[in-house]
Amino acid sequence: MMTDIVIPRRLVLCLILFLSIVTYGQEDSLSAPTDSLLPAVPWPVCVQQRLDGLMESGMFERSQLGLMVYDLTADSVIFRRGERQLMRPASTMKLFTAVAAIERLGGSYRFSTDLRYDGEVTDATLTGHLYCIGGFDPLFNIDDMRAFVESVKNMGIDTIRGAIVADKSMKDTLRLGEGWCWDDDNPILSPLLISRRDVFVKRFIDELQQAGITVEATEEEGVTPCETFPLCTRFHSIDQVLMRMMKQSDNLFAESMFYHLALSNGHRPATAEMARRAIRQLIKRCGGTSSYCRVADGSGLSLYNYVTAEQEVMLLRYAYKQSNIFLHLQPSLPVAGEDGTLRSRMKGGFANGNVRAKTGTLTAISSLAGYLTAPNGHVLCFSIINQGLSSEREGRLFQDQLCDALCQP
């Protein structure tokens, strides 16, 4: 006796769906939408896979890499390679100088240069001295100098009998940084510069004479006494200095910031060791070990600077969490494909206009450290230090590809 076999409707539908998929695959296997049947690779596994692929580059057979990528939104490490190896940071050292200075000096800090005088003014003649007091303002220019001259004219002075004194007591007498190469284009570490040159008093006298003021005075160097009177003060803000220091990677501006950081402990003259101590203290506050690094200067020119990618990421995390710091740091960083030292890099890719980072270049060294926003909206910070390169261009290309991989949807 035969009985009817009842097949559930749900099973029939599943069989029909299965056969249709198989048939579709046989008819047009090249265009079958197999990817849509596979689950999407979740964040951050997808980006980790991309970065793993970049690690296969042959450049790492002959060079070293310090790399760390941190998800600030998720508070977790995304990727790391050699992140605790001590390496020369080149100009990413400026990040340490900038963050320490913003925190110690404050966002309203000014870099000022003062003109004072002593003696008496009789019959339009100053019988006394003019004191040019250097404040290591790297932006002091001819317009500022002419304001000095105008302040003398406004006193009704047409003759100066005495001395024009250059007061450089703000810092020590060292004119070069520790570990700088003698044949590099090094900035002059003088606190009294005009348009980056150490010719302040000579230029001042020339401008006074061109303004019709007779200068019967000697050129001297000394310290301004307490019993003097103010004539003029010219200044520039910390943000103005930061912008040039970071966007253009200007070494003079970074060393100026370094020595102003040294002054934050209240002692004069400022020394490099005072600034180094402040940066080592900052590294401790960021959660790092200050003994596990070497700080020599504020610009990254020195061959004696050694930090790790992990320490740079700790610094970037710290700055991001401190709104009073990040408010000044973030706008100063070069933007990929748009301005500063990143103007011609990462153009047209996913990183264009997204990555904000400090570049660094020395012989055989290329570095990049900063921030970007991932496709899922998370803010990331990263540090990449390539050392032992046969070509710095090779390092920049790798960094650009890595940033593009982090920004890619």
pLDDT recorded at residue 39: 60
Confidence of residue 37 (pLDDT cuts 50, 70, 90): low
pLDDT recorded at residue 290: 72
pLDDT recorded at residue 13: 40
pLDDT at 322 > cutoff 90: yes
Q: Average pLDDT for residues 384-405, to the nearest whole number?
A: 96
pLDDT recorded at residue 339: 97
pLDDT at 32 > cutoff 90: no
Residue type at position 389: L
Alpha carbon separation from 394 to 57, 60, 300, 388, 391 (Å, rounded): 11, 11, 20, 11, 5
Alpha carbon separation from 256 to 179, 190, 259 (Å, rounded): 17, 9, 5
Alpha carbon separation from 188 to 26, 40, 194, 256 (Å, rounded): 75, 56, 11, 10
Residues 6+ apart with CB under 8 A from 11: none
- Spatial distance between the Cα atoms of 70 and 74, rounded to a whole number of angstroms: 9
pLDDT digits (tens, 9 = 90+) for 54-98: 999 999 999 999 999 999 999 999 999 999 999 999 999 999 999
pLDDT digits (tens, 9 = 90+) for 222-251: 999 999 999 999 999 999 999 999 999 999
- Spatial distance between the Cα atoms of 300 and 130, rounded to a whole number of angstroms: 36
- The answer to whether the bond into 230 is cis (omega within 30° of 0) is no
Distance in angstroms between the alpha carbons of the first and the last residue of the chain: 64
| Listed residue (299, 286, 230) closest to 259, CA to CA | 299
% pLDDT > 70, the chain = 90
Residue type at position 196: R
> Cβ of 348: how many Cβ atoms within 10 Å?
8
> Where is average pLDDT lowest: 91-95, 131-135, 290-294?
290-294
Sign of the Cα pseudo-torsion (372, 374, 375, 376, in order): negative
Copy the structure tokens of residue 259: 């020595």
Q: Average pLDDT for residues 379-400, to the nearest whole number?
A: 96
**Inter-axis angle of helices 323-332 and 238-247, to 10 degrees?**
50
Please report which residue ranges of 180-308 form alpha helices under DSSP H.
Answer: 200-210, 238-247, 251-263, 272-285
pLDDT at 26 > cutoff 50: no
pLDDT at 99 > cutoff 70: yes
pLDDT at 219 > cutoff 70: yes
Residues 6+ apart with CB under 8 A from 248: 340, 341
pLDDT recorded at residue 124: 96
> Cβ of 119: how many Cβ atoms within 10 Å?
17
- Spatial distance between the Cα atoms of 347 and 342, rounded to a whole number of angstroms: 9
Coil, helix or strand for 243? helix
Q: Average pLDDT for residues 42-64, to the nearest whole number?
A: 93
Copy the structure tokens of residue 153: 């004219």
- pTM value is 0.89
> Cβ of 229: how many Cβ atoms within 10 Å?
11
pLDDT recorded at residue 43: 85
Read off the DSSP letter of residue 291. T
Q: Average pLDDT for residues 175-180, to the nearest whole number?
A: 95
Helix (H) or strand (E) holding 358: strand 356-362
